[in-house]
Amino acid sequence: MDERELENTAKIFFLRKLGWLGVDVRWESLLEVEVIGYNLYRSEGLPADALRLNTTLIEPQPGENPFETNYRFLDDRAQQGVTYQYWLEVVSTLGSEQLGPVQIQLHRVLFPVMGASAWSTP
């Protein structure tokens, strides 16, 4: 797990492997006064090659605690056997800033095939 904080908006951003389900992307925000929303990006290499994962801006969500909000995004399109880098873009009334990259490697998952003497990959 890799954690970093943005200077102005105090975000914590981390990833967790979910096996063949994909990557669980989570972040926490503190005091979203100027925040308009978030964009999440993934790349196998350079930031210029990053793919935006969300189709629309992820809007701030009012929670029970007005000073802290937790977010979660399931990247179910991540492929096994690939190392990815993720960036979180915080869009505010003052502009935008990025958090990351945070890197994760998804190992290929092996499944036994019924009636076969060897392991196979899907």
By three-state DSSP, how is residue 19 classified?
helix
By three-state DSSP, how is residue 2 classified?
coil
Amino acid at 1: M
Q: Tell me: the pLDDT tens digits for 7-57?
A: 445 456 666 766 667 888 888 887 777 889 999 999 998 778 899 999 999
Q: Tell me: the pLDDT tens digits for 83-117?
A: 899 999 989 888 898 888 888 887 665 555 555 44
> What are the extents of the domains in the chain?
12-120
By three-state DSSP, how is residue 48 classified?
helix
Give the count of alpha carbons within 13 A of 102, CB side only: 24
Q: Which of 22, 19, 18 is nearest to 53 (CA)?
A: 22
Prediction pTM value: 0.74
Superfamily of domain 12-120: Immunoglobulins (2.60.40.10)
